[in-house]
Structure 1
Amino acid sequence: MSVPIITAEELYRKMNAGEDVVILDVRNETDYNDWRIEGKTVKSVNIPYFNFLEEDDSLFVDLPKESELVVLCAKGGSSAFVAELLMEKGYKTYSLDGGMLAWSQFYYPTVVSDQDKLKLIQVNRLSKGCLSYVVVSEGKALIVDPSLQTEFYVEMAKQQGFEIEHIVDSHLHADHISGGVKLASQTGATYYISSGEAKGTELAFEPLENHKQIRVGEIDVQILAIPTPGHTPGSTSFLIEDRFMMSGDTIFVGGLGRPDLGGKAKEWAMDLYDTVFNKLKDLPDDCLILPGHYADIQEIGDDGIVGALFGEIRNNNEIMQNTDKEAFTEQVAGAASSEKPPNFEEIIAINRGELKVDTDKAIELEIGPNRCAVHHHG
């Protein structure tokens, strides 16, 4: 009996269309609790693979026979075995092709805006809650915070007929491996990052602080590079015509960037206060904030976009109501002491160019959720 497979993209299309999805995750309980596929319409059940070897029919009691089950494991092997077992018992099953490994490498593009000679695309790496951006004008493009799988951006450029001219990292990432340097070498584009992030490294980069504006294409789409320290000292946000701000890990839909990953939580929290209440105070309420991450599937809008108007964030983001500098600093520094991103020291070393790893090791280091936000929901 051959088990039907479903790809990561097909699974996400179902989720994105609002279809009910039942996932049977057969990884062990620890892995499942640490990191799993979530969605607004997803019902997820965890029954570890080894339980199915015991041929205990009571395992299946709570599994719905009227719904399709998507069975998943780490890499796709165990899930195929379990899916076949369930098919023999009359269940409608798919096995997720490549398992959580494939899910971790899946990127999904959504167009945020396509008007006035400007196209802005948000690329969602769902497994990590990582967001990158492609800004296209007159056949030229700027990529913000590209992730590890650089071929995705190269292929998009080929399909949509644009040339990647500029690549920026908003900061030195701690929870995922940047594709910035690699993508620049593949495409001949200029790679920018703040000197505050890259000093002391051997990275080939153009200092962002020397470029207050980056022009994309021949027309006047100017991107302002605004220093927004707090998550890290050199964190930079990118503003397009007061309409869109790609905020990196500085401002999220439901929180702010955690300031503790450099071991200076108090100092960086004070920088974050200055950024939020002074540097960005004149940013209009109708500017769409497009963050570098999200921590909750609920932050994906019905249109598939993660983002919110700055006015809404000002009103709803509990931590931004705390205008007293000392109280804000205490709150942010205290809340940031939660679990750090897995393998963050090795990932930072890779992003600084100090540690070289092969593709398999890079993928292994990255697997798991992102933990770069301090979340306070209002």
Structure 2
Amino acid sequence: MTVGIVTPKELYDRIARREELFLLDVRLYDDFERWHVEGERVTTLNIPYVDFLAEEDFSWKKHLPTDRPLLVNCARGRSAKIVAEILERHGYDAAYLENGMIGWSEVYAPVTVVEEDEWKLIQLNRVGKGCLSYLLFSGTTALVVDAGRHVEEYLELASQHGAAIEHVIDTHLHADHISGGVELASRTGASYYISQSELQGALIPHTPLEQHRTWQFGAISVQVLAVPTPGHTPGSVSLLLNDRFLLTGDTVFVGGIGRPDLGGKSREWAQLLYETVFTTIAALPDDVLVLPAHYASRDEYHAGGFIGATLGTIRATNEVLRLDSRETFLEQIAAAGGSTPPNYQEITEINRGVKQVPVARALELESGPNRCAAKHTHL
């Protein structure tokens, strides 16, 4: 029996078109609760795979609709395929998600944030991970910020725009996913920039951001200002474009703030984060558009289809930015980090260039959502 197959990219396109979908997730309950496919018109039901294997127990039938197609999902696609075949034998219209959540974690969706006469900014949303990266185009030149490890996504977009990638920047040393910055720079001959303090003596070829605070980028004067915004990590930077768009990395999110505890110095880094939020970022006007490196909720979508919000909106809705004293901030933020991102140590070793892993291991390491926020406010 052959059941239907839906690719992760097809699923994203259907969610983006606001189709009504019914997803049956057959992973264990804890895995489902930790991380699953979401969408504005997506109904998701979790019934573990083993419940479908009992030969005479069909109690799962009372939970499933018979008047609409079912899309079955699991971790890698194998269990979902088996369950979809069982459902087909019982008269259901069923298909399964190819490669499951692993495949879903590799979908990248480009959204144009701004396009003016001579420059363009695209946000590349890795929807299954909540990771965000950026491509800035001006003339035939491209700059990439916080690239994921799937470097072909950036090469293809640059090619579509007739541009060569000349600059690659990581705003900080990522802990929840493998950066593609070094590989992308190597493939294109671009310069790779990251703060020297992020690499802790590692030998990755790079240009320290401390030496290049400002670029006049491309065919026009697009000011790219690297603003030191430590706290999530000691060398974190934000990039200010034309005084209007702030790429904040993991410093400030639409609904939260970067967690300062991943280096084992939560109190010390929270002090840095306080200065960043209430001195550096506080000096910027309300109409600056914040574009972060991660998000945790569909509530963080802008009406334009990207993840972002003006500083004025964030100041009004993000409770962390309204804390009235340094001590209150330190108490709440230093203690609010939650569980450490899975495989944090190994991922940071890879991103520092002291370890390499095959693709299969990279898939395992990146499984699950990002956990870079210390605190999130639901808008």
TM score, norm. by length of structure 1? 0.96
1:345 deviates by 0.7
Structure 1 segment 303-342 matched on structure 2, within 5 A: 303-336=304-337, 338-342=338-342
Q: Which residue does the alignment assign to 1:178?
A: 179
Change (3 A) 1:93 1:215: farther
CA distance in structure 2 between the partners assigned to 1:66 and 1:153 by the alignment: 41
Q: Which residue does the alignment assign to 2:52?
A: 52
Q: Which residue does the alignment assign to 1:228?
A: 229
Q: Which residue does the alignment assign to 1:150?
A: 151
Q: Which amino acid aligns with 1:289?
A: V
Task: State whether residues 110 and 124 of structure 2, in contact with CA within 8 Å, keep that contact through their aligned partners in structure 1.
Answer: yes
Show structure 1 runs of 5+ residues with no match. Answer: none
Q: Which residue does the alignment assign to 1:256?
A: 257
1:302 deviates by 4.2
Asked if 1:4 is matched to 2:4, the reply is: yes
Task: State whether residues 16 and 304 of structure 1, in contact with CA within 8 Å, keep that contact through their aligned partners in structure 2.
Answer: no
1:67 deviates by 2.2
Q: Which amino acid aligns with 1:373?
A: A
Residues 111-134 of structure 1 show CA distances to partners (whole Å, capped at 9, x for unaligned) of: 111113111111111111100001
Q: Which amino acid aligns with 1:370?
A: N
CA distance in structure 2 between the partners assigned to 1:145 and 1:72 by the alignment: 29
User: Which deviates more from structure 2 when the two are superposed, residues 97-106 or residues 180-189?
Assistant: 97-106
Task: State whether residues 40 and 298 of structure 1, in contact with CA within 8 Å, keep that contact through their aligned partners in structure 2.
Answer: no
Q: Which residue does the alignment assign to 2:349?
A: 349
Q: Which amino acid aligns with 2:294?
A: H
1:281 match: secondary structure: helix
2:312 match: secondary structure: helix
Structure 1 segment 152-231 matched on structure 2, within 5 A: 152-231=153-232
1:304 deviates by 2.2
Q: Which residue does the alignment assign to 1:363?
A: 363
CA distance in structure 2 between the partners assigned to 1:350 and 1:232 by the alignment: 16
1:199 deviates by 3.4
1:253 match: secondary structure: coil
User: Which deviates more from structure 2 when the two are superposed, residues 208-217 or residues 175-184?
Assistant: 208-217
CA distance in structure 1 between the partners assigned to 2:253 and 2:289 by the alignment: 11
Residues 73-117 of structure 1 show CA distances to partners (whole Å, capped at 9, x for unaligned) of: 222222122112212323222211121111111111111111131
CA distance in structure 2 between the partners assigned to 1:376 and 1:152 by the alignment: 29
Task: State whether residues 113 and 304 of structure 2, in contact with CA within 8 Å, keep that contact through their aligned partners in structure 1.
Answer: no
Q: What is the RMSD of the two structures over their aligned residues, measured on CA atoms?
A: 1.4
Q: Which amino acid aligns with 2:8?
A: A
Asked if 1:37 is matched to 2:37, the reply is: yes
TM score, norm. by length of structure 2? 0.96
Asked if 1:280 is matched to 2:298, the reply is: no
1:61 match: secondary structure: helix
1:139 deviates by 1.6
Task: State whether residues 223 and 240 of structure 1, in contact with CA within 8 Å, keep that contact through their aligned partners in structure 2.
Answer: yes
Question: What's the % identity of the aligned pairs?
Answer: 51
Show structure 2 runs of 5+ residues with no match. Answer: none
1:335 match: secondary structure: coil
Q: Which residue does the alignment assign to 1:119?
A: 120
Task: State whether residues 242 and 284 of structure 1, in contact with CA within 8 Å, keep that contact through their aligned partners in structure 2.
Answer: no
CA distance in structure 2 between the partners assigned to 1:65 and 1:118 by the alignment: 50
1:244 deviates by 0.8
1:330 deviates by 1.2
How many correspondences in the alignment?
377
Q: Which amino acid aligns with 1:29?
A: Y
CA distance in structure 1 between the partners assigned to 2:303 and 2:96 by the alignment: 27
Q: Which residue does the alignment assign to 2:14?
A: 14
Change (3 A) 1:82 1:302: farther
